[in-house]
Amino acid sequence: MAQTAIESLDEARETLREERRRVADEREAFDRFAHLLAGVEAETPTADTGSRALLVDGGASAGARAVRDHYRSTVMSVPHYDSDYGDSYRESLAIEFGPDVAAALDSGFDARTKQAVHAAARDAHADRDRFVDALDGEAVALANHRERCLAIAEECLDIADEARDCADYGTLDALRTRCLTLEADCDDLASERQRAVRACRVDLGLPDAYPNLQEYLYAPLDADYPVLAATTDIAARLRDCRQTVERRLALAS
């Protein structure tokens, strides 16, 4: 059972690594898009014809077509785009940059629109950059908690082995004390994790309607909070072990 708890943390680490790869791919895609966008010349409609004179190719201006092509070759070309999103160009543009920016591109690609698209692309890149930092922090925390959970689980097994054929009261009493200490360590680990989850939420500035980072990351797994689930599982094993020791203590007294 303790091994199952550790395996659940290993599964969480793999899920986290995959999400980090996806977000990093998107971060680089928006960075490339912003650089390509800088090379697209803003269009200046003449005073008498207005922006309609710029519209070609089924209603898209040359500049808007260039933006579309660059967006498709970068943001919409990340390996997981179709499986995770599957949005059309216009849908993705509205989600990432806002409906106003998407609508502005329908009318051409003047200097103001170029500035708005570029700013939105840099914001999208910065959002992914912050998210990668949060994922890296979660990876460090997950590795640390796994190590501590594993140490507690292994000591629990050692106590159970030592107590199995033991009839010495002093030894059993010491084993009982070790169990209580490890149970307290589990409580501390759970409290520490809960504080970290709350702090991560604050650092990311998540609105009330959004799930915690951990809920988002680990939703496909058996537990949304695998560290807490593993800690609870190990604590339960410790209690069972302690109760076994206490029964042997009663017989030895």
* Burial of 28 (C-beta count, 10 Å sphere; 0-12/13-18/19+): middle
Q: What is the pLDDT of residues 117-151, one digit of tens each?
A: 999 999 999 999 999 999 999 999 999 999 999 99
Asked if residues 147 and 227 have their Cβ atoms less than 8 Å apart, the reply is no
Token couple for 238: 């410790």
What is the identity of the amino acid at 41? E
End-to-end alpha carbon distance in the chain: 31
Q: How confident is the model at residue 70, as a pLDDT? A: 97
Token couple for 157: 């097994």
Averaged pLDDT score across all residues of the chain:
91
What is d(CA 26, CA 122) in angstroms, rounded to the nearest whole number?
Answer: 12
pTM here? 0.87
| Eight-class DSSP state of 41 | P
Q: How confident is the model at residue 45, as a pLDDT? A: 65
% residues pLDDT > 70 (the chain): 93
Residue 59's pLDDT band (cuts 50, 70, 90): low
Instruction: Give the Cα-Cα-Cα angle 7, 8, 12 (nearest 5 degrees).
Output: 115
Q: Is the pLDDT of residue 47 over 60?
A: no
Q: Is the pLDDT of residue 55 over 70?
A: no
Task: Identify the top-confidence range among 43-52, 54-63, 192-201.
Answer: 192-201
What is d(CA 90, CA 80) in angstroms, rounded to the nearest whole number?
Answer: 18
Element spanning 53, H or E: none
Q: Helix 169-204 vs helix 111-164: angle between axes, to the nearest 10 degrees?
A: 180
Neighbour count for residue 158 (Cβ, 10 Å): 13
Asked if residues 74 and 30 have their Cβ atoms less than 8 Å apart, the reply is yes
Q: Is 45 left (phi over 0), alpha (psi -120 to 50) or beta?
A: beta
Instruction: Give the Cα-Cα-Cα angle 5, 8, 9 (nearest 5 degrees).
Output: 95
Q: What is the pLDDT of residues 151-200, one digit of tens each?
A: 999 999 999 999 998 999 999 999 999 999 999 999 999 999 999 999 99
